[in-house]
Chain A
Amino acid sequence: MIKVENLVKEFKLSKKQQKENNTSEKVAKAVNGVSFECKAGRIFSLLGPNGAGKTTTLRMISTIVKPTSGSIIVDGIDVIKEPQDARAKIGFLTGSTGLYERLTPNEVLKYFADLNDMDKATFEKRRDYYYDLLDMHDFKSKKIGQMSTGMKQKVSITRTMIHDPNVVVFDEPTSGLDVITAENIIKLINDCKNEGKTVIFSSHIMSEVDLLCDDLAIINKGKLLYSGTMEDFRTNMQTDTLTGEFIRIVNEN
């Protein structure tokens, strides 16, 4: 479970940035009082146009950046007070996640398993499970730099899931990927839900949201514009399409 309350993130603006943004404000609020809850066994989608604050919110949940104020509870752990414990519960994946190109999948996975304090037997069991599931045996000892994008994404998925996290954070996970590779991610998100994990993912692709999510929140310019179930969203739509409704909500606010 993820519980976010009154989350605020301010970034200091340099004089150059103030000039570029045509503002005299010394700080910019990337996230401004956002609250939502993601339940275990359900897929929560964070929607918003580019620069809405989605990535910043997900980075705060994943402890990469510290909130200016507000609170985040991940699987019962206060992310701000105990970030290291929270990280052990989180798997994090983005569409642009990089991998160590000079290492092999075996080495990368062992590295992340060790950092997550996994014992050898559990690690090997989890690793082999994903090797079978994603058909990775042929390239498990090949250097990542010599792999195709699809192969790399499979390694990224396994790296995210190797320590069996209860909470999985996906930041625009299919961005820039071809259809076949994106399909692997979508399957992974569904598998996480079926395993009872808490899943949050950001996107601006409505078809993906329609296909996957149970709950959704829409944010724009750091502010929460909508939060509710997908079912309620569909029921209360004032336009014909999900995309049209998303645009309407963003424009009206």
Chain B
Amino acid sequence: MKKIIIIAKKEFLDLLRDKRTLVRMILIPLLVFPVIINLVTMVQSSAAEKEAAKEVNVGYVLNGQSSTMIDNLAMIPNYNFYEFSDSTVLRDEILGDSVTVGLHFASNFDNDYNEGKTPELSLFYEGVNQEDLGKVKFLLTMQDSLYTDMRMQSIDKDYGFIEPFSIVNRDIGDDNELIAKYAGGMLPYFFLAFCFMGCMIPAIDMFAGEKERGTIETLLTTPVKRLQIVFGKMIVITTFGLLSASLALLGLYFSLNFMGMEGDFMDTIKGMLSPGLIGTLYILLVPLAIFFAGIMIPVSVYSRSFKEAQSILTPLNILVVLPAIFGFLPGVELDYTTSFIPILNVVLACKSLIGGHADMILIGITFFSLIILAGLSVFISVKQFGKEGNVLR
């Protein structure tokens, strides 16, 4: 054990002096959530402000009808109304982009309304101007309610006369369950991805890097067993994987609590981050990080150089992305099959915890299946490091 600790201590010192390591394993995970959340919030609020300030130009053809509705609408700020003589001119103006939406009153609009009929109000627009169309439609819905009220008052009836019953939505489900169904896999995935990236640079540096620098021979001539060398280095790889994931979590916690960001999006994420979820995530992340280290070490041992190892390991990111994507899909749940699939099982376990319907037996199976995989990958790593053909390749 003493030799394992000596090796681990040296590797920590060595890696913490590497700028590349510090940036990729410490700085990026720590800053990624504050930067992303800040950017999303900034873009969202700037887009909302822009949209609110944007003026909508609406054309209309009264066709000899009353201008009451247009007069009502023209009082609303940021809407400009322009009258045109007929629908052909209105079409041309819309196509020429001087107005984005056009209103065309039917020639019998007033009469039909007064007689209790349903006159036509045509809306002209180009499909690309959906935002302006939506805004105008919203205004017209309000006018529709106003006109209905006026009509009901004229016949001395209540609005309820034309609404025999109303539907009231009462969602008795847990909000968290809904969040878990559609977004529950996303959050743990980020931590898994950082854990994987956090393992990668040390794994490459400590095996392929050591081969490339010519220090591996020297290490192999010291009175240390190869098993001790692998274990010492594996401790460092696993720790850096967990450190990266922890720093990402810390960055997220900082963003949510100290950057003054509010809104449904923030509340949703805050709701997900329960102590139970974080605790379980860590319990599952430890064997998973060892498993990551265990698949990276044989590749790194085999590679001749840092670059070669990096070129083999980088595409392996897909191994993390793919199972996680399956975990995002609604309907994919933790069961007796999925609890044996690494990465996917961690995502699904977290998803079930967020949804509040976690089955502790399945989470237990997930944990033990990860332990078995971790053990297997350690065994393969030791075997591969013991092969002189790999080490001296």
Contacts and interface: CB of A to CB of B under 8 A. Distances in A.
Contacts of A96: 214
Nearest to A90: B221
A98 B388 contact: no
Given A64-B217, A101-B213, A115-B6, A87 B17 contact: no
A114 interface: yes
A84 interface: yes
B218 interface: yes
Interface string B5-25: 011001001100110000000
Nearest to B225: A84
B375 to A, nearest CB: 24
A30 to B, nearest CB: 11
A203 interface: no
Given A65-B388, A84-B223, A92 B217 contact: yes
B222 interface: yes
A252 to B, nearest CB: 32
Given A103-B13, A107-B13, A97 B224 contact: no
A100 interface: yes
A115 B224 contact: yes
Interface of B, secondary structure class, is helix
A223 to B, nearest CB: 22
Q: Which of A11, A103, A114, A159 gathers most chain B CB within 10 Å?
A: A114
A55 to B, nearest CB: 10
A81 B238 CA distance: 33
Contacts of B10: 100, 103, 107, 111
Contacts of B215: 97-100
B61 to A, nearest CB: 77
B223 A98 contact: no
Q: Which of B217, B222, B388 gathers most chain A CB within 10 Å?
A: B222
Nearest to A65: B388
Nearest to A160: B218
A63 B221 contact: yes
A213 to B, nearest CB: 22
B217 A85 contact: no
Interface residues on B, range: 20 to 34
A163 to B, nearest CB: 9
B214 A111 contact: no
Contacts of B13: 103, 107
B14 A102 contact: yes
Contact of B14 (A59, A66, A103): A103
Given A66-B388, A92-B217, A92-B218, A87 B223 contact: yes
Given A88-B223, A102-B18, A107-B13, A97 B6 contact: no
Contact of B388 (A64, A101, A112): A64
B270 interface: no
Q: Which of A65, A100, A103, A116 gathers most chain B CB within 10 Å?
A: A100
A191 interface: no
A117 B223 contact: yes
Interface in A77-128: 84-85, 87-88, 90, 92, 94, 96-103, 107, 111-112, 114-117
Contacts of A12: 389
A116 B218 contact: no
Nearest to A117: B223
Given A65-B388, A111-B10, A87 B222 contact: yes
B217 A111 contact: no
A102 B17 contact: yes
Interface in B206-246: 213-215, 217-225
A92 B217 CA distance: 9
A174 B389 CA distance: 26
Contact of B222 (A66, A97, A116): A116
A116 B217 CA distance: 15
A32 interface: no
A207 B264 CA distance: 81
Contacts of A63: 220-221
A92 B221 contact: yes
A84 B215 CA distance: 18
23 contacts: A12-B389, A63-B220, A63-B221, A64-B220, A64-B388, A84-B224, A87-B222, A87-B223, A88-B223, A90-B221, A94-B217, A97-B215, A98-B213, A98-B215, A100-B14, A102-B17, A102-B18, A103-B10, A103-B13, A103-B17, A114-B6, A115-B3, A115-B219
Interface of B: 3, 6-7, 10, 13-14, 17-18, 213-215, 217-225, 388-389, 392
Interface of A: 11-12, 59, 62-66, 84-85, 87-88, 90, 92, 94, 96-103, 107, 111-112, 114-117, 143, 159
Given A87-B223, A97-B218, 15 more contacts: A59-B217, A59-B392, A64-B217, A85-B223, A92-B221, A94-B214, A94-B217, A100-B213, A103-B13, A107-B10, A111-B10, A114-B6, A115-B219, A115-B224, A116-B222
